């Protein structure tokens, strides 16, 4: 079966606080960097999936994201071909 590169981006839901992102945002002025309006940090997962075709590869990655990569209570995820 062919191998497909798939990317899963996992982000905290907008209503969930992101202390790591807030810390980076607050650190900008003291590093002499210009401010940004918003900044949120999530996970970026790159994987190679062996599947029959592209839809099958995306479906497999979506299943993985639902079960293992994202916490559906506090996180959203997006799956795309890499």
Among 16, 63, 72, 81, binds a second copy (CB under 8 A): 63
- Assess 15 for contact with a second copy (CB under 8 A): no
Encoded tokens for 20: 């790591």
**CB 3, min distance to a second copy, A:** 6
Q: Is 64 left (phi over 0), alpha (psi -120 to 50) or beta?
A: alpha
Among 68, 74, 80, 81, binds a second copy (CB under 8 A): 68
Among 2, 16, 17, 27, binds a second copy (CB under 8 A): 27
Rounded-to-10 torsion of CA 22, 36, 39, 28: -40
Rounded-to-10 torsion of CA 66, 68, 74, 76: -50
For a second copy, the binding residues (CB under 8 A) are: 3, 9-11, 21, 24, 27-28, 31, 33-34, 36-50, 60, 63-64, 67-69
């Amino acid at each position: 079966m062919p191998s497909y590169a798939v990317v899963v981006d996992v982000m905290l839901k907008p209503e969930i606080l992101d202390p790591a992102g807030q810390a980076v945002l607050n650190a900008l002025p003291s590093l002499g960097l210009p401010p940004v309006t918003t900044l949120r940090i999530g996970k970026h997962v790159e994987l190679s999936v062996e599947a029959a075709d592209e839809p099958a590869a995306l479906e497999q990655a979506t299943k993985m994201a639902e079960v293992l990569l994202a916490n559906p209570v506090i996180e959203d995820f997006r799956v795309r071909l890499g």
